[in-house]
Structure 1
Amino acid sequence: MSAEIKVTVWNEYLHELKDPAVAAVYPQGIHGAIAGFLGAEKDFSVRTAVLREPEHGLSEEVLAQTDVLIWWGHMAHDQVEDSIVDRVYQRVLEGMGLIVLHSGHFSKIFRKLMGTSCGLRWREAGEKERLWVVEQGHPIAQGLGHYFEIPQTEMYGERFDIPAPDTLVFISWYAGGEVFRSGCCYQRGQGKIFYFAPGHETYPIYHQKEVQQVIKNAVRWAKPVSGLPQPVDPFRPCPPLEKLD
């Protein structure tokens, strides 16, 4: 039997405390909702962390014990300490998986990993979103059909200022006419990264079975690859493998 995948679900956990409408949708917090359906999987071991905990709940010890980190942020990107961002960044380079959800596109950690502004167009009108599966053989698309729909969501539209994804798994179409690269895979160092756009806080998107399936699939895809050597300092002196004259 394979070892459990250790997952940490990080959330600002501010909207739920400030806005009764959000608390009604996610009474245990967005992190609690995600941890709930992930925790029902036999191969996952799940913990949560939030912004107002010491070190934002992301101590060196916690990150060392995390195979995949899930990140949800929106209203307090600037409150995340740069030292913690650097800590997460290094762990991704070492092989920790990172799943960035919804407005986490503008988080410090995602922008640092992408090297771009990660800006986009948006509209909050409660419109329908149709997510097309454009890579049906990808592990993150396992168990899905050609597409699935979210009845009400916030629109994210192109242009999305990100590097071209290594693999684009989903493209979204919205009732207002826009399209968006809504499921993007990257690799940085030894770590896998997946950005997944759905998840506005006032809609029950993380209660939807297809969305849950995507996140579960993404955790399994993003877990570290066993047997990889530890990253080394690329600027250190390098002895030759062969004898030199």
Structure 2
Amino acid sequence: MVKVTVWNENRHEQKNPVVSEIYPSGIHGAIAGFLSEVGIDTKTATLDEPEHGLTNEVLANTDVLIWWGHLAHDEVKDEVVQKVQQRVLDGMGLIVLHSGHFSKIFKVLMGTSCDLKWREADEKERLWVVAPSHPIVEGVGEFIELEKEEMYGEHFDIPAPDELIFTSWFEGGEVFRSGCTYARGNGKVFYFRPGHETYPTYHNKEIQQVIINAVKWASPVDRKRPLYGNAQPLEKLAVK
């Protein structure tokens, strides 16, 4: 069974009554809830726990880590980021949601600023599926329409995705690469744009389906990891 840890800085829920009303158990609780409903072994971790809830033991028992952050990216300790990065390189899947684009871990894995345009104006978002055969969009129609969302617009300063899964259009006219996959070492990374904290995006069944599918896609492959470093020859070498 896939083991998932949902990480959330859990700051908006403490500061903004609008957010706490939409997500009374926190954004992490809402995501963990629908994952658990489909039988995925799910735990949560938050910023203010010791080691941000991401101890060596927790990470060792995590197949896929889901990351939501916004207000407190700078408070995430570099040593924790390094541990998460190493786990991804070793094969753990990582799903980065919404404003997690500016998290330390995503920027480290991308090697770019990960900056973008943004606007809060209660705009309609239409996420078009541009990779209809990809397992992340199984059970999803041609597009997902969200009545209100925060706008993210190009240029999104990320490396060219290995696969582009969604392209968003916003009511104000902007477009955005909203679903991007990457291979990093032995691990798989999926960035998924929707999820501003003051909108009930993670209660949307189609958004939930994408995250459920992404967890399955990002799960580690059941095989031995490659060996690195000095290697003995497979064939007998002629003496020179």
Q: TM-score, normalised by structure 2?
A: 0.98
Query: Residue type of the partner of 2:124?
Result: K
Taking the TM superposition and a 5 Å limit, the aligned residue runs for 1:187-226 are 187-226=183-222
In structure 1, runs of 5+ residues without a counterpart are none
In the alignment, structure 2 segments of 5+ residues that lack a partner are none
Taking the aligned partners of 1:216 and 1:157, their CA distance within structure 2 comes to: 25
Q: Secondary structure in 1 aligned to 2:221? A: coil
Q: Aligned partner of 2:64: which letter? A: V
1:243 matches 2:236 = yes
Matched, 1:230 2:225: yes
* 1:132 alignment counterpart: 128
Alignment pair present for 1:24 and 2:29 = no
- Report the alpha carbon displacement of residue 97 of structure 1 after superposing the two structures with TM: 0.4
- Kindly report the root-mean-square deviation, in angstroms, between the aligned alpha carbons of the 2 structures: 0.8
What is the aligned partner in structure 2 of residue 180 from structure 1? 176
Mapped to 2, the partners of 1:171 and 1:237 lie a distance apart of 43
Q: Partner letter of residue 6 of structure 1? A: K
Deviation at 1:240, TM superposition (A): 1.9
Amino acid at match of 1:54: P
The alpha carbon displacement at 1:238 in A equals: 2.3
1:168 equivalent in alignment to 2:160: no
Query: How many pairs does the alignment contain?
Result: 238
CA–CA distance in structure 1, aligned partners of residues 49 and 114 of structure 2: 27
Q: CA deviation at 1:148?
A: 1.4
| 1:172-216 Cα distance to aligned partner (Å, 9 max, x none) | 000000000000000101101000000000000000011001000
Letter in 1 for 2:142: H
User: What do residues 102-129 of structure 1 show as CA deviations (whole Å, max 9, x unaligned)?
Assistant: 0000000000000000000000101000
CA distance in 2, matches of 1:71, 1:62: 14
For residues 16 and 193 of structure 1, the distance between their equivalents in structure 2, rounded to whole angstroms, comes to 26
User: Which letter does structure 2 place at the counterpart of 1:27?
Assistant: P
Matched position secondary structure for 2:42: strand
Q: Distance in 1 between matches of 2:81 and 2:226?
A: 19
SS of the residue 1:87 aligns to:
helix
**How far has the Cα of 1:231 moved from its partner?**
4.5
Q: Does 1:78 align with 2:71?
A: no
Hey, what's the Cα distance between the residues in 2 that align with 1:54 and 1:36? 23
Equivalent position amino acid for 1:115 in 2: G
Identity over aligned residues, as a percent?
67
Equivalent residue number for residue 65 of structure 2: 69
* Distance across 1 between alignment mates of 2:183 and 2:120: 31
Cα deviation 1:75-96 (Å, max 9, x = unaligned): 0000000000000000001110
The equivalences for 1:81-160 within 5 A come to 81-160=77-156
